[in-house]
Chains A and B, each alone.
Chain A
């Protein structure tokens, strides 16, 4: 007969409290160790005290693994994180790692971090020097755009947010005009406002643009243009006309096969050599075209995936109703295909946003580029960590918002109810 009987409903009264106590002790040990650097079980030999939380926790979890205990929360717990010894082990390990890693992170980010001051010398603590971000914030947002003119960028983005915000509350019919305005008129209005030169606004050359606002400008334009081009390329690749098909295939494979950094470099450095003397295309525009075409090739393949997933019957039904090629694609095929590949489209667009820092190779500096510049300033050496953590956070917020939006869109458009 076993000395220790298996945990069951019969011995729940003694096993459950013992088990909970042991698990609690084990977590407490790790917690105290991590936050106060004090070893509760230090009186044991070091080998034992090192593994003691694991042993305690493991035994504790074993004792509370009672099948059909009748206590709902315990049953859920057992089913999800304590279903067998291996799971119990993984659960403990995860908890320990979490507890162990939180204090140093918390210290670096907040507790030991420096928020006040204006120079690097004000950062005396061990943690992050957020003063760096604070002092350079303006540059990170606007690049080298003159301070006095920055209201123009703010206004452009405020108008954008206002239109988007209002469009959520207007009727469907009015919304259509809002969207048309946003796609066909606003981009040029915004660029005019930011670049200036007309309406009594001072001209600001694109070399001075930068920071997060440039990230937004490049992303927005590239997304706006790469999407329709990608759709046409995808249709072209499936066209029955050989000339169109081979041109599409050639274009897609060429752009997909070349690294973006190469494309950007060529657009900025090599392309002007082929232009006749005296002609000049702005560097930012060349870069924009390069990114747009590059991402359009990826977009084309994503969309083609959706086109191929549609059953042949959809094409035949559309044709049998007398629809020609364009009506069939615009009304029947693309709405379904694009809906199918929303996750893939979101993927490509997120990658596009995160590819924008690569424009540093041609001397344009968006957010990450400005941080790269700031960290090499002699007065602010050694701030790379703070800078890139900040950049990571900002990019994550942008990308997560886009990701959530795509998920909402997917849900909204789902008709398989």
Chain B
């Protein structure tokens, strides 16, 4: 009995030692030498593997930069200016890092209490599936469908439901990888600058009267914001107010004056 255990113990130990030595030799002699620059690049990139740069993960992008395939070395949006600078230092090139961080924002406030619904949707919990049926169950065809496809694609869990059946993005967590913008069928998820103070939280390009019937917080294109904050960069196009964030004027007056209160703080 004791012998059996002993034999087993010895044979497993021997096998372990044999494989261990084998691996140690392999690690030394079969080692694929990587350029220091490449390993540095891999370390400089954040490692989210979000795909925002268009490559299959961070190491693929690092390789592309190293081999000179990737022309733009500032594509890593999660890393932002800091990572871009690091990459530029490694590659010894000068880059312009002045572009600011962007975050995703759901341009819709038409939730359970405020928006009208055309029918009851009973199907796959997926915005794209719902969108192919009459472009969603809301009367407004531009708004948030509230089925959370963006929540499921977000690599950093920055998106969550609110109590209105809509989704909200946590701008502190957002790494601006653009995946939610790509998956959103109605185009209600758009990128805004991180520093934006006010946002027009509506995406409806319908005429004012149509929007009013569909939702109580939809932009009706009344041009009040344009008048109240002339320097705020407000512009009405297709019955929808949009903010040009290159204008630096105040926007509070416009937000206060908005009759449907769809200009909200970020």
Our verdict on whether A and B bind, yes or no, reads no
Task: Give me the interface of A with B, judged by CB distance under 8 Å.
Answer: none
B residues in contact (CB < 8 Å) with A: none
